[in-house]
Amino acid sequence: MSDIEQRDEIDQNSASQAPERKSFVSLEDMQSHTNSTRDFRNTSLAQESSRDRNLGLPTLEINHTNNNNNEFNAQSATHLARDLRSGNEQTRTRANQTLNDTNPAQVTPHLGSENHATRESASLILERMGNRALPALEDAMRSGDLEVERRGQQITQRINENPANFRQSIDDLRSPDRATRQAAQARLSGMSVDQRMDMASRADLSDNQLANLRQTLGLSNEQLDKLYGSGDKKVFGREQNLEALNRRYVAQRMTGQSTGETAAAIGMEMVEQNANTPADRQRAERMLQEGLRDQNLPGLQRMRANESLTNLLAPQAGRTQDARTAFNNMMKEMERIGQGNLASFQLIPTDRHTEFIDRFNGAANPLGLSEEDRQRANRNRQMLGEI
């Protein structure tokens, strides 16, 4: 049995366990069916790469298109999707080359395939294509097939919510190709101002990219300040959700305002919300560090930012030294506040910071604090007890 035949037999066995495509009378019915297939998809996608390695199948020998007429058929979709997820770097590189050469319009018909694995493969391929798949998806969603419409909507949403695709849209605004520029302008114009500001905060735009984005907004400094309070320095002590803080941060960068307090507030809010993903933890750390670099950051906010940084870094492998530095910086700031401004010191939440000191300065000494560091922490704890 050939390698391709081995794969096909395994794929057929896997597909036989998958929920079959059904006929639906509404998108609501189809969404209910989606919920029942989600676990299957997550499990099967995670298992395929390790399965190929265990079988020793040489994926580099697979052609992603029909050799005779360059047709992109169901088998092509299945093999390309698998190779895009391969654990082998050469295989992924080759698959990405094929991806770049593939017309999205060749893939969208497979969203309506009777075979579950083919539908899943087509979905993954189109999502990996990013912005250039959007016109073909828009056409496909007018086909009248509810399955294609549902999948097309989901893929379009994931593409539009991907920060890398947003950055590409910004860069495309300066493309020498007129059609590319117009497509990027249309994509961005289809988003509200708030949506563009939110995406800008997630996409880590350079100053040039931010300037290009601002041209699509058509807002003056005064309008940005009115919408997002970009010139308002009073960030702390107010009700602020993360979305509002992100928009303010972007507006401040656009208008050349200081971003230190807002950046620190974003980082602290992300830590409060647990910053569960590696990307969230990286961004929270970056925002906290940006805030701490601001020499004008008030003492209490500097202390709180170091507290959040300690809580963020301490559980991470290999970050003990960085967490220890943040803890000691917080203790030094707390000591300075206590010595110079008792009224400010009394604003420190006593119970929370007592527990914080005990956790990192206890008998276990998880941060490896020096004797001098521990003595400083003990003095601060004593001052907290006297408030």
Q: What is the pLDDT of residues 89-112, one digit of tens each?
A: 999 999 999 999 999 999 999 999
355 vs 4: CA distance, rounded Å: 60
At residue 286, the pLDDT reads: 93
Please report which confidence band the pLDDT of residue 19 belongs to, taking 50, 70 and 90 as the band edges.
low
- Among the listed ranges 173-177, 303-307, 333-337, which one has the minimum average pLDDT value? 333-337
Whether residue 169 is predicted with pLDDT greater than 60 in this model: the reply is: yes
Residue 91 · residue 33 · CB < 8 Å: no
* Residue 380 vs residue 25, higher pLDDT: 380
Q: Cα dihedral angle (111, 122, 167, 86), rounded to 10 degrees?
A: 160
pTM, rounded to two decimals: 0.68
Here the tokens at position 118 are 């083919």
> What pLDDT, on a 0 to 100 scale, did the predictor assign at position 205?
92
Position 234 scores a pLDDT of 57
DSSP state at residue 26:
S
Residues 276-301 pLDDT 10s:
889 889 999 999 999 999 999 988 89
What pLDDT, on a 0 to 100 scale, did the predictor assign at position 7? 46
Question: Of 19 and 161, which is predicted with more confidence?
Answer: 161
Tens-place pLDDT, residues 78-87: 999 999 999 9
pLDDT higher than threshold 60 for residue 351: yes
In this predicted model, which residue has the larger pLDDT, 15 or 376?
376
Q: Are the C-beta atoms of residues 95 and 86 closer than 8 Å to each other?
A: yes
Kindly give, in sequence order, each residue whose CB lies less than 8 Å from that of residue 356, ignoring residues fewer than 6 positions away: 307, 310, 311
DSSP code of residue 90:
H
- 202: tokens are 């997630």
- Domain extents in the chain: 3-160, 298-387
Whether the CB-CB separation of 242 and 273 falls below 8 Å is answered with: yes
pLDDT band of 60, cuts 50, 70, 90: very low
Reported as a pLDDT band with limits 50, 70 and 90, residue 386 is: confident
User: Coil, strand or helix: which one is 347?
Assistant: coil
Answer yes or no: is pLDDT of 39 > 50: no
Instruction: Give me the long-range contacts of 285-292 (CB less than 8 A, separation at least 24).
Output: 285/309, 285/312, 285/313, 287/249, 287/263, 288/263, 288/264, 288/312, 290/259, 290/260, 290/263, 290/264, 291/260, 291/261, 291/262, 291/263, 291/264, 291/265, 291/267, 292/264, 292/329
Give the list of residues 6+ apart from residue 162 with CB closer than 8 angstroms, or none: 130
The string of pLDDT tens digits covering residues 140-158 is 999 999 999 999 999 999 9
DSSP state of 19: P
Q: The dihedral of CA 25, 28, 32, 34: what is its sign?
A: positive
* Residue 24 in tokens: 């639906």
Report pLDDT digits (tens) over 222-253.
999 888 887 665 555 444 578 888 888 999 99
Taking only the tens place, the pLDDT of each residue in 40-54 is 444 444 454 454 445
Q: DSSP string spanning 188-208? A: HHTS-HHHHHHHHHHTT--HH
